[in-house]
Amino acid sequence: MTVTTQALQDSRIAILGYGSQGRAHALNLRDSGLDVVVGLRAGGPTAAKAAADGFAVATPAEAVKGADLVAVLTPDMVQPKLYEEAIAPILRPGAALLFAHGFNVHFKAIAPRADIDVILVAPKGPGHLVRTEYEIGRGVPCLYAVYQDVSGHAKDKAMAYAAGLGGARALLIETDFKEETETDLFGEQAVLCGGASELVQKGFETLVEAGYRPEIAYYEVLHELKLIVDLLYQGGITKMLNFISETAQYGDYVSGPRIVDAATKERMKAVLKEIQDGTFARNWSEEYKAGLPNYRRMKQADLEHPIEKVGAQLRAKMVWLNEA
């Protein structure tokens, strides 16, 4: 089945937020022939950027007023207030409210009005990749979901929006708000961000504490990680194993399970449970409302880790990084 933008051809789409994803969505949708307005706080740096890109820029409330579909692409913690102030009182009945992450709807921080469609489209890639893949005629796979279907066409709208992003050129996968939210949070926390960064830091500390030079440790546990991740990204574990030495493979087999073992998996399950039962969402919401004291402290500790100091010095010598 060919998926097109037909279901949104006569619709006005309001993009709220113009960060990495917001800009990519707005540009791709416009280039797909759809009518796009960008809703942003007046006078902000992103408003100037959107205007420079040729968009009509309005305040969020003004953008919502004439919209048939509103895409909420601001940070998670900003969205509940934005919904209450600029969307809920204004969005017309039968219109669609779209999210790129189900966090606030799934965890009840936003209770959408009963007379609107509520849908999700989540490209599985950063905004710059969503844009560059579109520009060369390809696309990034997208997840899509329907939370509330009032019009009877919510799924069509979600798929048309994903097609407008270029996702239909690659792959569209249907999901639901629960699955998208919980798996996304788990991936970030246990593997992609939390897990990977902690593994790198602990590996660096182990080598340095054993007397090895920080520069050597940096290359072995952080710099070369990109080589492995690229292989995994391109062809999974199979390709990675095909491109590393037999010595590295044997070390993988005998030592990997000693580092990430059954106890690690049990802790992963505990992290997942806290995501599923809402503990993480409640803690994050309370942290945000308190002014982010723990968040700022933990972030600063990461920024001051010795691997960051030595890494900055070494990367300054890697001229190719500045050419990317």
Per-residue pLDDT tens over the stretch 116-171: 999 999 999 999 999 999 999 999 999 999 999 999 999 999 999 999 999 999 99
In the predicted structure, residue 324 carries a pLDDT above the cut 90: no
Query: Which three-class secondary structure state does DSSP give residue 160?
Result: helix
Q: Residue 14: which of 115, 114, 82 has the closest Cα? A: 82
Taking residues 227-250, report their average pLDDT.
97
> What is the Cα 252 distance to its own chain's centre?
30
pLDDT tops 90 at residue 237? yes
Total residues belonging to the chain: 324
Residue 5 assigned as binding residue: no
* 46 marked as binding residue: yes
Q: Is 106 a catalytic residue?
A: no
Average pLDDT, integer, range 222-242: 96
CB 308 within 8 Å of CB 302: yes
Give pLDDT, residue 58. 96
Identity of the amino acid at 23: R
96, 119 Cβ separation under 8 angstroms: yes
CB 90 within 8 A of CB 65: yes
What's the predicted TM-score (pTM) here? 0.94
21: annotated binding-site residue? yes
* DSSP-derived 3-state class of residue 97: strand
Q: What pLDDT is recorded for position 252?
A: 97
> Of 25, 101, 153, 305, which is the active-site residue?
101
Give the model's pLDDT for residue 293: 98
287 assigned to a ligand binding site = no
The response to whether 22 counts as a known ligand-binding position is no
Q: How far apart are CA 124 and CA 166, in angstroms?
A: 12
Query: For 82-96, what is the mean pLDDT?
Result: 98
**Is the model's pLDDT at 3 over the cut of 70?**
yes
258 labelled binding-site residue = no
Token pair recorded at residue 169? 């050129």
SS3 175: coil
**Residue 180: per-residue pLDDT:** 98
Average pLDDT over the chain reads: 96
Binding residue per annotation — 6? no
Poorest-pLDDT segment among 13-22, 38-47, 124-133, 183-192: 38-47
Is the Cβ–Cβ distance between 172 and 134 less than 8 Å?
Answer: no
Residue 184 among known ligand-binding residues: yes
* Residue 34 and residue 164 in contact, taking contact as beta carbons nearer than 8 Å: yes
pLDDT value of residue 1: 67
Residue 322: predicted pLDDT: 76
- Which of 266, 262, 238 has its CA nearest to residue 252? 238
| CA distances for 38 relative to 111, 130, 164, 182, 234, angstroms | 23, 18, 16, 29, 35
> What's the confidence (pLDDT) of residue 323?
65
